[in-house]
Chain A
Amino acid sequence: MIHFSNVFKRYESGYDALRGVNFHLEREEMAFLTGHSGAGKSTLLKLITLIERPSRGHCVVNSKNLLKLPRWRIPYFRRDIGFVFQDHRLLFDRTVFDNVALPLVVSGCSYKETLRRVHAALDKVGLLNKEKMYPITLSGGEQQRVGIARAVVNKPPLLLADEPTGNLDEALSDELIDLFQDFNHHGVTVLIATHDLRQVRRLDRRVLQLAQGQLIYDSIADA
């Protein structure tokens, strides 16, 4: 699903965010990406979602060569990736329903189908009764779950999360990570960037650790 070989990323400022990263994430696999702030976790996720382009190396995501993907194909490419942000990034002037429906609206889904899928996604994260509310009235954990519902509503084969438990207490974090695990059981490839080592230990999944732009530990390769 994700194939990185010898990937470098240097920002215009001259800062080297990634230096020769190699890893391969199989389809339907679930992994944690760990490391201190500034280790390159965010940059790696940005390369996968084509927010940034690699400076050097070979990246293939969902069978697409990221170096060769033309600009106009990027939106279509991103529709196959669900992304969960640390700060949710919900639209506060729209209801929960409208927020979750956004990826479907963007890809031109029919209204009937949208209704069905949004309800399914909200049901999955346990917020079906709050579809008409505005995100501002929800708790932090609920907002994050709305974000997750939005990420999975169009059933992407790949789900990425950037510090999804960053602002949540332990119980809520457990609930959230279990949700990701559940999606993984249904065949979705999941990659979670986090420095919440408690979750990493709790789940016993593959771990990729970055430090100063280099992959210093891969639980599969080093096992």
Chain B
Amino acid sequence: MKNYLLRHLQVFFYTLGQLAHTPLSSFMTMAVIGITLALPAGLYVLINNIQTASAGWDGKAQISVFLKPGTTQQQAQALETKIRRLRPVESVQYISPEAAMEEFKHLSGFGGALDALEHNPLPAVLVIRPSDGHSDPESLQALVASLRGLGNADLVQLDLEWVKRLHLLLRLAERGVWLLAVLLGLAVLLTIGNTIRLAILNRRDEIEIIKLIGGTNAFIRRPFLYSGLLQGLFGAGIAWVLVQTGLLLLAGPVRELATLYTSPFGVQGLDTSTSLALLASGAVLGWLGSRLAVGRHLREIEPS
């Protein structure tokens, strides 16, 4: 057993030496793999970041009932209790015209300019959150209809539909990234397979001789498998560097943009588990690509 591990270690370092022996061609293969893997990895990080940024806006729909101008606070509060009794409603929040004005001043940045207005043009609003069991489109439509029937309701608006759309779009994009990752994974497989194929053909004589003196297929395969694995691993390493560098370049502008929106959002890079997953998938793809190539071509090379 110890002997077996020792032999693997030997082959590992021998292969490493072989890669170092032809630095340019090894690097080019790894760079191709790196760029190929960087694409899905980068998109994955991008989508992850958009998800984080939009996490504050939860996916729940929200209904705003704008009350007719001149509605008194008593009337509004009576309406609030009435709505609260409706089954699909989880919570109702009353926002008075004054409170709405304060919020608007704060968020819009118009501040002083709004003070110039003679009277508050904003209506009172009741913000309604439907309960979890009733957030599907049909129940929401029904709820909106019943709210429209209430007296004093000027305008009933289903808000944040677009957040839902965004979430759906993100999910779609995520699916797309997976699809892309599968395709590009295949590309890595082919790249490695071709590199290993050439390596095998280059060492045809050596393989024949080793077969003649009793080398098993496993023995002959081993250095090629390590070579594929290492190239995949280093390629993934290059992909990691590419993604992190790209994010570093984006981080500055994104932070500035976020400050404008008073958001604490900052770009998140690849975390440890994602990084490890990236490296592991590179290694596995490299190994697999090499395994496929070796399996195919080793059989063809027989001593004569």
Contact = CB atoms under 8 A, between A and B. Distances in A.
A75 B3 contact: no
Interface residues of A, number: 18
Nearest to B299: A71
Given A79-B213, A89-B209, A106 B219 contact: yes
Contacts of B304: 51
Nearest to B208: A89
A176 B156 CA distance: 105
Interface in A26-72: 49, 51, 72
A45 B213 CA distance: 14
A102 B303 contact: no
Interface residues of B, number: 19
Given A51-B303, A75-B211, A91 B219 contact: no
Interface string B209-229: 111111111010000000000
Given A89-B209, A91-B206, A91-B209, A106 B302 contact: no
Given A51-B302, A89-B209, A91-B209, A78 B214 contact: yes
A75 B7 CA distance: 18
B205 interface: yes
A81 to B, nearest CB: 8
A106 B219 CA distance: 7
Interface of A: 49, 51, 72, 75-79, 83, 89, 91, 102-103, 106-108, 110, 150
The 4 closest A-B CB pairs, nearest first, are A79-B214, A78-B214, A106-B215, A75-B216
Given A51-B302, A51-B304, A106-B216, 13 more contacts: A51-B212, A75-B211, A75-B214, A75-B219, A78-B211, A78-B213, A83-B213, A89-B205, A102-B209, A103-B213, A108-B4, A108-B7, A110-B3
